[in-house]
Structure 1
Amino acid sequence: MPISLLATIAAVVVILDQWLKQYIQAHMLPGMSIPVIDGIFHITYVLNPGAAFGILENQRVFFIVIALFMLGLAFYFFKHIPKKFMLMRLGLSLLAGGAIGNVIDRVQTGYVIDFLDFRIWPVFNLADMAIVTGVGCVIYTLVFMSFPTEDQESSR
């Protein structure tokens, strides 16, 4: 998977995430909820000042710095990931796109705009889905893919 395709995936995540959030802001008021499947799935406009589950509320600078640091690490290590680990590359692209989407929110408003509400889980957004999926891809690769050992590397 070439780097340009992975950059495109990250860009698509950012564009979709920001478009959805702008749509929600333009058509709803904070706290407003619209049932899609009553009692199961709602579109609920929430301004989240913290991280997942609202932890570390109002730590805007902390979250921006951490996200930018993690993005820097992802971009640095991306070029070192062997091409055969496409799932890990995809995961980092999704993670980067999601992180950028949420950083844009934090820089612009100090909050992350959440709107997907399944009623049994805290309200979240597309960027959060990309981050979780990306982390899942990375973890899956680390756990189930074989990496060369030092002995294998030195015998080449």
Structure 2
Amino acid sequence: MTIKKATLFIILILLIDQISKIYIKTHFVIGEELKVFSWFKIYFVENDGMAWGTKLSDFISFISDRTAKLSLTIFRIVAIFGIGYWLYDVIKKDSPKILIWAIIFIFAGALGNILDSVFYGVLFNDSFGQVASFLPTEGGYDSLLHGKVVDMLYFPIWKGYLPEWLPFYGGKYFTFFEPVFNVADVAISTGFGLLIFFNKKAFSKD
């Protein structure tokens, strides 16, 4: 694997991610859904926090949501430089291909969500009760570094009440799979999945 090839794959993942997000943002109202199959829907939500809508302020109560959002975005930007250097380093060292592929997916996915967090607040107006416009004349819905991540992939494969005998959750209504995510999230999950399931190959002693 060369740096050029890795860059091309990263650009390809970014294009798929950003095109899908921009399309959803400019064609759907927040909360709108399109049923593709009974177990798969396009469902437009926005996430201004971490995984599954979690916010940094949920854990650090003395900071405001805006400060937490800004801190998280800055942390992501710093982290992406670290991941980028890691990718450059493993390619130069001719590390196992499975490790290189894993980092490519993680880097591309992280960068895709960072673009939302950094720029979308400026590039689009809000999607509440209206379809957002790209580069609106009246300005975006927020300032730079305060954008929200666009999510749209929803797989409610099974819904129903859990058996009463289950501890803690017995008798409760449950949806599998509940989170709504995007292409960038799929890329990140794929990268981490490769590292977990092919750990010995990725981090061989050689």
The TM tier, using the shorter chain, reads 0.7 to 0.9
CA change 1:104–1:80 in 2 (3 A) is: closer
The CA deviation at 1:16 is: 0.9
| 2-structure distance, mates of 1:139, 1:62 | 28
Calculate the TM-score normalised by the size of structure 2: 0.66
Q: Which of residues 120, 135, 139 in structure 1 aligns to 2:192?
A: 135
Determine the structure 2 residue equivalent to 1:152.
none
1:123 aligns with 2:132: no
| 2-structure distance, mates of 1:50, 1:106 | 9
CA change 1:80–1:104 in 2 (3 A) is: closer
Determine the structure 1 residue equivalent to 2:86.
77
Q: Which amino acid aligns with 2:51?
A: A
The CA deviation at 1:84 is: 4.2
User: In percent, how many aligned pairs have the same letter?
Assistant: 29
Larger Rg: 2
| 1-structure distance, mates of 2:148, 2:155 | 20
Determine the structure 2 residue equivalent to 1:56.
55
Determine the structure 1 residue equivalent to 2:149.
112
Determine the structure 2 residue equivalent to 1:42.
41
The CA deviation at 1:69 is: 2.1
Query: For 1:45-66, what per-residue CA distance to the aligned partner results, in whole angstroms no more than 9, with x for missing partners?
Result: 0011111121116432222222
| 1-structure distance, mates of 2:180, 2:42 | 9
Aligned residues: 146
| 2-structure distance, mates of 1:139, 1:79 | 21
Determine the structure 2 residue equivalent to 1:24.
24
The CA deviation at 1:91 is: 1.2
Task: Structure 1 unaligned segments of length 5 or more: list them.
Answer: 149-156
The CA deviation at 1:88 is: 0.9
| 1-structure distance, mates of 2:31, 2:21 | 14
Query: For 1:85-144, what per-residue CA distance to the aligned partner results, in whole angstroms no more than 9, with x for missing partners?
Result: 111111111111111111111112221000000122210000000011112223344x22
| 4+ runs deviating over 6 angstroms | none
1:99 aligns with 2:136: no
